[in-house]
Every structure is written in C-alpha cells, then in structure tokens.
Amino acid sequence: MQQITITTPDDWHLHFRDGDMLGETVPATARCFSRAIVMPNLVPPVVNAQLASAYKSRILAARPQGSQFEPLMTLFLTNKTTTQDIIDAKQSGVVAAKLYPAGATTNSAQAVSGIEALYPVFEEMQKQGLLLLVHGEVTEHHIDIFDREKEFIDQYMLKIVAAFPELKVVFEHITTSDAADFVMSSTNNVAATITPQHLLLNRNDMLVGGVRPHNYCLPVLKRSTHQQALRKVVASGSSKFFLGTDSAPHAKHAKENACGCAGCYSAWSALELYAQVFDELDALDKLEGFASFHGADFYGVPRNTTTLTLVKDSWVVPESVTLPSGEAMVPFFAGKTVDWKLV
Ligand code: NCD
Ligand code: ZN
C-alpha cells in the first residue's frame, strides 16, 4: 500500500451555505482542510463586512469540537459596492471579494452587470490588498455555454489584469486550456483554482448515456482536450494553480429536477480525488504544492504547520447523505470507488 504525508491543505474555493446546512458542510470540510475561502453567494449575498462577520460566527459555531478550522471570508461584489465597503471589509479581516457576472451561476442574480463600473472598487482593492476572485464566464444569451469562459478572458479578464497590475486576481474554477494558457502567460499576480471534477471528468461524463445532474456544475464540464490541459498544468507543479474544490451542496430534489441546479458537493471526497488524479498523472510529488503551498503563498498567509496522511486504499462514496433538515443530498462521486483514503 502506498501512502503520502502532506502539509494540511486549504480549500481556496468553497460553498458552505447557511443555517442547518452548516451542520453538514462545516465538519465535512474541517475533516481535512485547515482553512477555506468561503464563497459569499448566500441569499441574500454577503455584501459587506458586517454580514461577513456574522456569517463567520455562524460557521465557527458549526465546527466540530476541538476543530481549529479557520474560515476566510469574502465579499460579494454588486453594482452598489463602494470603496468604503472595501476599506471596512479589509479592516474586519475579509481577505477577498468575488466578482460574479450577473446571472452566471447559483444565486448570482444580484451580481455585477457592466464590469467596468466596478473599476474604482478594484482600485481600492488593489490599494487595500484584497484579492479579486473571478467567476470568469460571460452571460450573454447568444454566447454558447461552452465558449463563455474564453469569451470572458477576451472581453474582460485581459483588461482587468492590465488595468490593475498590482491587484491579485484568482481566476476561479478554470475549465479550459484557454484559461490555463491565460494564467500561465500572466504575471505572478494572477493565479487559478481547479476543482476535482474538472480534472476527473469531461462533458461526456455529464451527457453520454443519459444526463447526469450530479456532474453538472458551472462553469460546465468541457471537452476532453480541455480536461487534459488542466491535468497537464497541475502535473507541471506550477505555483499559479491551486486547490479550490468549489464544493457546492444542493438538495437531491434540486439537482434531480427538470431545471437542475449547478454544483457538485465534493467535500466528502475532494482531497482523495485530487490525490487520485495526481497519482494517475504520476505526479504525487506535486500534490502538496497544489493542495497546501501555492494557495497560501498567493494569498500571503502562512503555510499550515500540521500534516495529514493519505493511503492508497479504495472506498466507496455514499449514495446519499441526510442533511440536518432531513432532506437527502447526493455527494459528488456517489456510489463510485475512490482510490485514496484519508488516514
Ligand atoms: C456554485 C453554487 O452552487 O453556489 N455552483 C457551481 O456550479 N459551481 C456557484 C459557483 O461557484 O459558480
Ligand atoms: Zn463556486
């Protein structure tokens, strides 16, 4: 049996949700991650320091006994966000702000339309040292869903990084070779997170032999050539790419629906699935950088000092988990075998 011990990782892109759901999601992440960047797309969204602090307290209260897990809070940018909101956020310990183009994804109706209007806010973020986290997809109806990430790079991303060279920008959950190339060719102030599903799967896994709603997330899975490009950049060990699960829980009935929600609830297996991918790529020596170093270094926070161990030993992800509300939820990779296990 093979095993690997790495510095305890962090999850640089995560959806905890709120209320009862925290009883499920916080322990699931705290089981293996030391910190997580908590996405602000609640209903209503986390648009200011006060809401972020209150949300942080609710997350801390849901930690398992003795857990040192630390949530890192983010602000949801809207057309009403002011430079004062950024100053207040920085002061209260918020580390980043998330740009969702309006309508791009789950709970983003209140997000930004007319991204240039936010340039004064980006300017203040650059000054305050708050990171800009970007959901990089355009939302125009006439643009094909499979082209929306590339189109966002061409229309917005190139301009944003050129206008704010000192602003740290994370291109979240990248899904295409175009995004990987863009990040690779950008300055050291531009990095990207990559999810387990975009490394493990391509659009065939969502559409061949029937629609598989539990593999539906946004940005949507792309063709295999893009998946291969993502696998190549993580295997390269480049410090511009780091772990962000985008674990995004939705109740079973909301996923298995005529209009199913986007999001894969991967917290139960994400770290193990990343290990599986790096193993398949013969790049297990690059897992620690991706999972535990690159993100902390980019955010400018200390690396964790504890370790955890994974062994090559197979187990099966449960078909369903029961939420504190009594509702069922289907975790990502449900009923499938994972090759690596957390000790
Ligand atoms: C996320 C969610 O459900 O909040 N869904 C998803 O498919 N990734 C939102 C997001 O990160 O786009
Ligand atoms: Zn997300």
Q: What is the pLDDT of residues 216-275, one digit of tens each?
A: 999 999 999 999 999 999 999 999 999 999 999 999 999 999 999 999 999 999 999 999
Nearest CA to ligand 1 atom 4: 106
Task: Output the CA 305–ligand 1 centroid distance in Å.
Answer: 30
66-97 pLDDT, tens per residue? Answer: 999 999 999 999 999 999 999 999 999 999 99
Instruction: Determine if ligand 1 sits within 6 Å of the CB of residue 111.
Output: no
Q: What is the mean pLDDT of the chain?
A: 97
**From the CB of 263, is ligand 1 less than 6 Å away?**
yes
**Phi, psi at 26, each rounded to 5°:** -65, -50
Q: What average pLDDT does this structure show over 275-299? A: 98
Whether the Cβ atoms of residue 11 and residue 244 lie closer than 8 Å to each other: yes
For the cut 90, the answer to whether the pLDDT of residue 23 exceeds it is: yes
Question: Cα(326) to centroid of ligand 2, in Å?
Answer: 24
Residue pair 4/310 in contact by the 8 Å Cβ criterion: yes
Between CA 1 and CA 279 the distance in angstroms is 13
Give tens-digit pLDDT for 124-168.
999 999 999 999 999 999 999 999 999 999 999 999 999 999 999
The H or E element containing residue 253 is: helix 252-255
List b or e across 254-281, with b for residues whose CB sees 16 or more CB atoms inside 10 angstroms: bbeeeeebbbbbbbbbbbbbbbbbbbeb
pLDDT (0 to 100) of residue 104: 80
Beta-carbon contacts of residue 145 (< 8 Å; ≥ 6 apart):
220
Note the pLDDT of residue 114: 83
Question: How far, in Å, from the CA of 148 to the mean position of ligand 2?
Answer: 16
CA distances in angstroms from 305 to 34, 144, 184, 256, 308, listed in the order given:
10, 45, 28, 41, 10
Alpha carbon distance 67, 26 (integer Å): 10
**107 CA: nearest ligand 1 atom:** 4
Ligand 1 in reach of 133 Cβ (< 6 A):
no
**Ligand 1 centroid to 80 CA: how many Å?**
22
Report the nearest-CA residue for atom 11 of ligand 1: 246
pLDDT band at 322 (very low <50, low <70, confident <90, very high): very high
| Cβ(148) – ligand 1 distance below 6 Å | no
Check pocket membership of 13 for ligand 1, CB cut-off 6 A.
no
Give, as one character, the DSSP assignment of residue 9: P
**Which ligand gives the minimal distance to the CA of 106?**
1
Q: Whose CA is nearest to atom 6 of ligand 1?
A: 263
Instruction: Give the position, in ligand 1's atom list, of the atom nearest the Cα of 108.
Output: 9
How many angstroms does the Cα of residue 175 sit away from the middle of ligand 1? 13
Secondary-structure percent of the chain, ordered helix, strand, coil, rounded to 5? 40, 20, 45
pLDDT of 3 above 70: yes
More confident residue, 183 or 104: 183
Would the CA dihedral through 263, 171, 71, 272 be positive or negative?
positive
Structure pTM? Answer: 0.97
Distance CA 248, CA 261 (A): 10
Separation of alpha carbons 199 and 287, rounded Å: 13
Q: How confident is the model at residue 1 (pLDDT cuts 50, 70, 90)?
A: low
- Upstream peptide bond of 44 is cis (omega within 30 degrees of 0): yes
The active-site residue, picked from 11, 85, 178, 246, is 246
CA 1 to ligand 2 centroid distance, Å: 34
Q: Which atom of ligand 1 is nearest to the CA of 135?
A: 12
Q: Give, using CA atoms, the residue closest to atom 9 of ligand 1.
A: 106
Query: CA 141 → CA 51, 67, 104, 147, 305, distances in Å?
Result: 32, 45, 11, 12, 47
Cβ atoms of residues 236 and 302 within 8 Å: no
Query: Which residue of 134, 218, 250 sits with most ligand 1 atoms within 8 Å of its CB, as the best mutation to test the pocket?
Result: 218
- Percentage above 70 pLDDT, the chain: 100
Instruction: Answer whether 71's CB lies under 8 Å from 47's CB.
Output: no
Report which of 181, 215, 186 is spatially closest to residue 198, judged by C-alpha positions: 215
Region 301-315: mean pLDDT is 98
Residue 110 neighbours by CB under 8 Å, 6+ apart: 44, 45, 76, 78, 102
CA 208 vs. chain centroid, Å, equals 26
| Sequence letter at residue 317 | V
DSSP string of 41-91, one letter each residue: --SS---SHHHHHHHHHHHHHTSPTT---EEEEEEE--TT--HHHHHHHHH
The torsion angles phi and psi of 223, rounded to 5 degrees, stand at -70, 165
What's the order of all strands across the beta sheet hosting 131-134?
11-14, 35-38, 70-76, 96-99, 131-134, 169-171, 190-194, 241-243
Q: In the annotation, is 246 catalytic?
A: yes
